Amino acid sequence: MSNDWLTGPILEQLNSGVLVVDEDFQLVYLNSFLQRHSSVQLTEVKGKSLFQVFADVPEAWLRRKFASVLELQSPSFSSWEQRQYVIKLPHLRPVTSSSQYMAQNCTMLPLHDPTGRRYVCMLIEDATDAFVYQQHLQTTLQKLEQSNRVDGLTQVLNRRYWEEQLKLEVQRAQRYRQPLSLLLFDLDKFKQLNDQYGHLGGDSVLIELTARVRALLRDTDWFGRYGGEEFGIVLTNTALAGAVEVAERICLAVSSKAVTFHEHSIQSSISVGVAQLDTTGDRAHEVLIGQADMALYNAKKEGRNRVISYSAGETAFMVKTV
């Protein structure tokens, strides 16, 4: 097959794999690229079954592919995007690529010799570079998506994404008739705190308190930064009484322990407004925010460091001190 002075050397120096099998999947030819990459010698494997020499190729799949090439006398293809490799081979970027094996684009072609005997030729192209770029792209897109959702300082959800989730959870709660509650809380006297310890001090309090609050929440709750020092928590499948309990725990977790910033010990507290979803319609999530905000306002007015829940139609409010 490689006697010809022109095509022989080209085949041998080609930077792609060339493999030929007969109708019984017995190896007829492997070019140098494949011999080197798979550490086999053509003289040793010629006439042996492809599946014996390359024990980990997907046999059923390859038989099906080759059958279609032989029967239909038309080419068949395999892309690394769907099947990363057909034959496990090392690639030439062992250091700069994260993948262990060469990503391959394969083309399977029908062949016959002058006597009419039929063969399948498989061309294997190294697509590792494309594979590596694709992986970089995907990691970057994931990071981008993440940073598009998260508040840079506190690592809780940013306002836009949090509000989207609130809206979806409100719709879900309405559809499945499940209770849903919202907590809005605000760090007490944040301006004073910033004036006293500087903005870095204020920031470190925000970072520490969000970490404490997060530890008290379930995976299904949505915790986001609503404004400067104001945060919101969507409690799914939770009625008012349960939400008040969570709110009190959060309140206590913040006030019970001071935040250490450099040599300072900063004492802080939060006020929490709680409301349970009780309206329907497109603007239900806005109404809910308004109700929780009203409760939060009352908690501030009542002296801070406390939880107040909104109750419909009442002018007096339920007061709970921690």
Partner 1 sequence: MNTVFSEEQRDCLQELINVAMGLASDKLARFLNTFVHLQVPAIELVNSTQIPAQFEAQYSSAEAAFVSQGFLGNGGVRGEAIVLYQLDNAHRISALLGYDTDSASELEMLTDISSILTTTFLNGLAEQIDNQLSYSAPRVLSSRQNNVTQALIDTACHWELALKVDISYQLIDHSFNCDMLLLIPGEAVLNIQQILDRIVEEY
CB of 119 to partner 1, least distance (A): 17
**Count of residues engaged in binding partner 1, rule: CB under 8 A:** 18
Q: Which stretch binds partner 1 (CB under 8 A): 16-24, 31-39, 75-83, 171-179?
A: 75-83
Q: Which spans in 216-283 are helix H? A: 240-255
Q: Is 229 a catalytic residue?
A: yes
Nearest CB to partner 1, comparing residues 71 and 245: 71
Binding span for partner 1 by CB under 8 A among 18-26, 65-73, 132-140, 192-200: 65-73
Tell me the window of 62-70, 197-205, 281-289, 305-313 that interacts with partner 1 (CB under 8 A): 62-70
Binding to partner 1 by residue 73, rule CB under 8 A? yes
- Helix H segments across the chain? 7-13, 32-38, 42-45, 50-53, 59-72, 128-147, 159-176, 190-215, 240-255, 284-301
* Cβ-proximal residues to 317 (8 Å cutoff; 6+ apart), any chain: 295, 298, 302, 308, 309, 310, 311
Beta strands 76-78 and 259-261 are unpaired
Which of 31, 38, 105, 165 is close enough to bind partner 1 by CB under 8 A?
105
Pick between residue 94 and residue 114 the one whose CB is nearest to partner 1.
114
Among 7, 74, 148, 267, binds partner 1 (CB under 8 A): 74
Q: Does 75 bind partner 1 (CB under 8 A)?
A: yes
Listed ranges 69-77, 158-166, 268-276, 304-312: which one lies at the site for partner 1 (CB under 8 A): 69-77
Backbone phi, psi, residue 11, to 5° = -55, -40
Of 72, 137, 141, 241, which one interacts with partner 1 (CB under 8 A)? 72
Separation of alpha carbons 15 and 67, rounded Å:
27
Q: Shortest gap between Cβ of 72 and partner 1 (angstroms)?
A: 5
Catalytic residue among 229, 245, 302, 314: 229
Q: In terms of CB distance, is 127 or 213 closer to partner 1?
A: 127
DSSP H/E element including 59: helix 59-72
Q: Residue 198: which region, alpha, beta or left (left: phi > 0; alpha: psi -120 to 50)?
A: left
CB of 21 to partner 1, least distance (A): 19
**232 - beta bridge partners?**
184, 224
210's tokens: 């969000």
Which of 7, 13, 41, 79 is in the footprint of partner 1 by CB under 8 A? 79
Q: Which residues of 241-258 are buried (b: 16+ CB within 10 A; e: fewer)?
A: eebbebbbebbbebbeee
Alpha carbon of residue 114 to chain centroid = 55
Amino acid occupying residue 95? V
Tell me the residue length of the chain.
Answer: 322
Would you tell me which residues interact with partner 1 (CB under 8 A)?
Answer: 60, 64, 67-68, 71-79, 81-83, 105, 107
Catalytic (active-site) positions: 229
